[in-house]
Structure 1
Amino acid sequence: MLFRRMNCLSVLLLASCFLAGCGGSGDGPVPAKGVVTFNGSPIAKISVSFVPVGGSGQIAEGTTDEQGNFKLRTLEPGDGAWVGDYQVSLKYVPDVIADMPAFTGGQKSEPSPIPAKYGNPSKSGFTATVDADASKNVFTFDL
């Protein structure tokens, strides 16, 4: 009987730990989204990466649709980014990947319509701060 009661107590404690975030404060990614434009027009197929300043933390990523809109994800699609400061990188994601060396006869990769400097978070010139208030996490990057 004591063993059964302890099992039941263990299950209840484990369930409450999961519901409470295992002792965490309930913090997690905050919804974050935005739009990328190039020369004033929305641009599709741009990978947007939020890289934590200082190198510690998790990267959040999203890809623009035909209207240039993106939603960031850290753990699950659309969950957003952790609160904090980020450097931003923007890279073109072609539909066709170029052949690897020593393989021939394939298709060539599409050239990027945006300058390569935007792909380096320390040189892109873009930063972002994700706030605990999701309504403040709408970003515009005009290349």
Structure 2
Amino acid sequence: MMKHQIARVLVLVSIAGTCLSTASCQKTDPNRKETIPVCGEVYVDGQPAAMLQIQCHPVEGMDTQQPTITQAVTDQEGKFQLATYEAGDGAPVGEYKLTFVWQNFSAVAASYSGPDKLKKRYADPGKSPFPLRVEKGKQVDLGRIELSTK
């Protein structure tokens, strides 16, 4: 009888330990900012632009306490979802300028190379005509963004 009680206690302790260790592994980073989904699509010269790089630049400058990088790459239809911590999670609340760079993508090297097909026209956040405002609780659909190589 005593052996069964000890066995039960050991099983319960091991289950409790597993639950606690699993719970501690699933905690989110306390420094992680809340993100709001942001989507859109990019067309260049009237056509969907695939593999075009998009980056968000905070208007107030980089948060030095909790720095983040928010970016996206367009799919074959020119569609994108911004990502900060994981694919499609969006951008932290704030005001941004969007920049766009479109280079050749090498699947073999998994990298971009060559000149910007947009001739760096949209690469400078200081000159960007594409503002983005992300507000708490409001998903953002930027619709179609039209760019030109000319």
Query: Which runs of 5 or more residues in structure 2 are unaligned?
Result: 1-16, 107-112
3-state SS in 2 of match to 1:122: helix
Structure 1 range deviating more: 123-132 or 64-73: 123-132
1:27 and 1:55, CA in 2 relative to 1: closer, same or farther beyond 3 A? Answer: closer
Aligned 1:1-143 pairs, distance under 5 A: 15=24, 18=27, 22=30, 28-57=34-63, 58-96=68-106, 110-135=114-139, 137-139=140-142, 140-143=144-147
Structure of higher CA gyration radius: 2
Q: Percent identity?
A: 29
Question: After the TM superposition, which segments of 4 or more aligned residues of structure 1 sit over 4 Å from their partners?
Answer: none
SS of alignment partner, residue 61 of structure 2: coil
Please tell me the residue identity of whatever aligns with 2:98: V
Cα RMSD (Å) of the superposition? Answer: 2.9
Partner Cα separation in structure 2 for residue 43 and residue 51 of structure 1: 21
Compare the two structures and name the one with the higher strand fraction. 2
Q: TM-score of the superposition, structure 1-length normalised? A: 0.67
Counterparts of 1:120 and 1:88 in 2: how far apart (Å)? 9
Aligned residues: 117
Task: Write the distance in 2 (CA, Å) between the matches of 1:129 and 1:91.
Answer: 21
Q: Which one-letter code corresponds to 1:54 in the other structure? A: E
Give 1:111 deviation, angstroms: 4.2
Return the alpha-carbon distance in structure 1 between the equivalents of residues 36 and 72 of structure 2: 14
Q: Take 2:49 and 2:92, find their aligned partners in 1: how far apart are those partners? A: 25
Structure-1 separation of matches of 2:116 and 2:33? 37
- Are the aligned partners of 1:32 and 1:71 in contact in 2 as well (CA < 8 Å)? yes
1:40 alignment partner AA: G
TM-score (ref. length: structure 2): 0.64
Q: Which runs of 5+ in 1 are unaligned?
A: 1-7, 97-108
Q: Which amino acid aligns with 2:101?
A: K
